[in-house]
Amino acid sequence: MMAIYDKPSVWSRLKPVFTGFDGPLFLAIVLLAAAGLTTMYSAGFDHGTRFVDHGRNMLIALGILFVVAQVPPQRLMALAVPLYLVGVALLVAVALFGITKKGATRWLNVGVVIQPSEMLKIATPLMLAWWFQRREGQLRPLDFIAAVGILLVPVLLIAKQPDLGTSILVLSAGLFVIFFAGLSWRLILPVVAIGAAGIIALVIMGDDLCQPGVSWLPYLRDYQKDRVCTLLDPSLDPLGKGFHIIQGMIAIGSGGIQGKGFMMGTQTHLEFIPERTTDFIFAAFSEEFGLLGCIALMLGFLFLIFRGLMIAADAPTLFSRLLAGAITLSFFVYCFVNMGMVSGILPVVGVPLPFISYGGTAMVTLGLSLGMLMSISKSRRFMAS
């Protein structure tokens, strides 16, 4: 007698894909994605196909998130060494025969033009988390020295391109892993104290140090010095190097408490804000939605960061904890650096605002990062059950 089997429904086939997804994390993603689409429509509706492309990039990132979320952390750990080695090899290739645009050599033609430094935003914390997982329970000072070496290789190669923004992001992600692995505060505090003293000295002596012909460091390029000097006093060149910062601050201030309203930003739509859909989109957002909108956006990012840290705290393995913690605090660095440079408290560097700024490569990296967070959360839930 022939057995009759019921054909499984579409939901029963898709259910394993969604099982174990972290609800609060996904809610934060949806809210921030909605804010990004709303802002991009206002800032970029008259800027070619930016809004449509931004939506497409978000869908690609969402697809990447769902795929990566299905990969257990053990397999992610197996990919750490190959990804890191391939990324470093590509950075070396960029240094040897990369494509130069606007004085920077950051791209490589491998059939399609790619920017290998973006890969290291993920590959570096993956590699460091793998390194400390292999030495769990037997960490020695030499292991931390080796970890610093693993971190400095891509950071120095990226800084040489030059790409200060990406090198800062890779450096911060790697330092978070090393810190969470147990680096002593006695080694951290002196570095922080020296950095604080340097910033104070720079502010006090800024007028003398920014004079023409004054050299700071042999490896510091002139345009990087100009960015710092412009930060200290944008009015020195209001129509040149200081134009970005001045217009960004004007847009933020003109938004007031409640903002000028959706699509009503004059600084934005009269094109006073440079790069209004990419690095300086926070200025456009602030002008239209005001202080209340900025607070709501920051609360959304804080919600995402808080949830990510909770996932890291509950992760079942050292590798998962280190990776989740580094990814989560990297979002903080993205937000702090972008909002800081637009507000005039940090030098202008090419760091996008997650979910909000236009950029295909940055959105892919965002999808990868969030997918890894979701994978770690799913693994915790499955082990608990």
Convert the pLDDT of each residue in 345-355 to its tens digit: 888 887 899 99
Residue 283 falls within a domain, yes or no? yes
Distant-in-sequence contacts of 76-79, Cβ < 8 A, 24+ apart: 76/126, 76/323, 76/372, 76/375, 77/126, 77/129, 77/130, 77/133, 77/319, 79/126
pTM comes to: 0.87
Looking at the structure of the chain, the number of domains it has is: 1
Residue 327 falls within a domain, yes or no? yes
Backbone angles phi and psi of 344, in degrees to 5: 90, 20
Residue 342 falls within a domain, yes or no? yes
How much is the pLDDT for 1?
43
Q: What is the average per-residue pLDDT within 137-150?
A: 90
Range of the domain at 299: 35-384
Q: Note the pLDDT tens digit of each residue in 224-237.
A: 677 777 777 777 77
Residue 5 falls within a domain, yes or no? no
How much is the pLDDT for 8?
66
Residue 16 falls within a domain, yes or no? no
Residue 213 falls within a domain, yes or no? yes
Q: Note the pLDDT tens digit of each residue in 234-259.
A: 777 777 777 878 888 899 999 899 98
Kindly give the pairing relationship between strand 113-114 and strand 104-109. antiparallel
Range among 165-174, 211-220, 303-312, 337-346 with highest mean pLDDT value: 303-312
Residue 215 falls within a domain, yes or no? yes
Q: Could you tell me which of 335, 377, 324, 7 has the C-alpha nearest to residue 173?
A: 324
Backbone angles phi and psi of 103, in degrees to 5: 85, 0
Q: Note the pLDDT tens digit of each residue in 271-285.
A: 888 888 888 999 999
Spatial contact of 75 and 378, defined as CB atoms under 8 Å apart: no
Backbone angles phi and psi of 107, in degrees to 5: -120, 155
DSSP bridge pairs for 109: 113
Residue 154 falls within a domain, yes or no? yes
